[in-house]
Structure 1
């Protein structure tokens, strides 16, 4: 089993194409690419932490979850109402999580933090929300689809990106 991280899929949300200048003609094109890349990367027995902002319409979330590979955990984003959290298909839901993976402590939330638990002892802050446009602090990583070519990323991929995207 592999663990992946992602955020800001915004399925069905045309505003995301305009605001964040995503390179898609419409939401159908965007959604199809995200679905294709997710399922080409994530196996059915893998685990995915989705760090918020799943879809425009909460009524569509259960349908998306059924089509996406993996055991999916949600940490609520600013565009995730209660109905998104209640959708069938989440293994867990919350606002914040601390997990350990590969000997690293990870602090997970939709929002980037200025400081976080264990920050000066090597823990990492993984977040979404900023669509790759926030200058991060050391050990802070945006795991959103805008940063990782619309594909969930492993911790190894996130750490490998530090020199080019995340300031180390």
Structure 2
């Protein structure tokens, strides 16, 4: 199975607390990081693939080392495809590549600087960190992160970040930090499309 997530921001102390940008109601980053690892591993097993759409880790006050970030990532189940976010950097990707533990005879980690495209249910999913302005599209969605607790007012733009308000459109709430399935993406799309049409 394939999953989608963005903006984990492991170690990021500035996001803690009740705020408009990225509300993370944890006392410390250790609790926040553990919640994301637990939510991830509760859904994802070793045969699954997770697309991480950028901003793996960050802390401007106490910058985590590549080794610390790797130690965090290696707790996560499944194969991970990383799309570079504005807080990610090539040296980290190189470090992860050099320390790749492998996955069923192939690399566990894969990397894209800008984005990639996958298909699911006859729909193209453009996977990027930054939201795209795609214009008129048919059977095409842009899954993105970057804007945390904000939403692009276009149904085809789906924020898959851990703080995304689109997650509230799901019929069943998920534990905070859970990667999303394609079925949940399509449920969000339908609900967002209906809500935007109603508000016109």
Give yes or no for the alignment of 1:93 onto 2:126.
no
Aligned to 1:156: 183
Aligned to 1:103: 122
Runs (4+) of structure 1 exceeding 6 A deviation are none
Unaligned ranges ≥5, structure 1: none
Q: TM-score, normalised by structure 2?
A: 0.75
SS of the residue corresponding to residue 97 of structure 1 reads strand
Give yes or no for the alignment of 1:133 onto 2:150.
yes
Asked whether the equivalents of residues 5 and 154 of structure 1 are also in contact (C-alpha less than 8 Å), the reply is: yes
Q: CA deviation at 1:139?
A: 1.3
What is the CA–CA distance in structure 1 between the aligned matches of 2:15 and 2:65, rounded to whole Å? 16
Deviations 1:90-122 (A, max 9, x none): 521112101112321110100001127xx5122
Asked whether the equivalents of residues 22 and 149 of structure 2 are also in contact (C-alpha less than 8 Å), the reply is: no
Select 1:68's aligned residue among 58, 70, 76: 76
Pairwise CA RMSD: 2.0
1:2-13 to structure 2, matched below 5 A, reads 2-13=1-12
Unaligned ranges ≥5, structure 2: 59-63, 101-107, 168-175
Q: 1:133 to 1:45 in 2, by over 3 A?
A: same
Aligned to 2:61: none
Radius of gyration: which is bigger?
2
SS of the residue corresponding to residue 47 of structure 2 reads coil
What is the CA–CA distance in structure 1 between the aligned matches of 2:29 and 2:88, rounded to whole Å? 18
Q: TM-score, normalised by structure 1?
A: 0.89
Question: How many residues end up aligned between the 2 structures?
Answer: 165
Q: CA deviation at 1:135?
A: 3.0
SS of the residue corresponding to residue 100 of structure 1 reads strand
Aligned to 2:139: 122
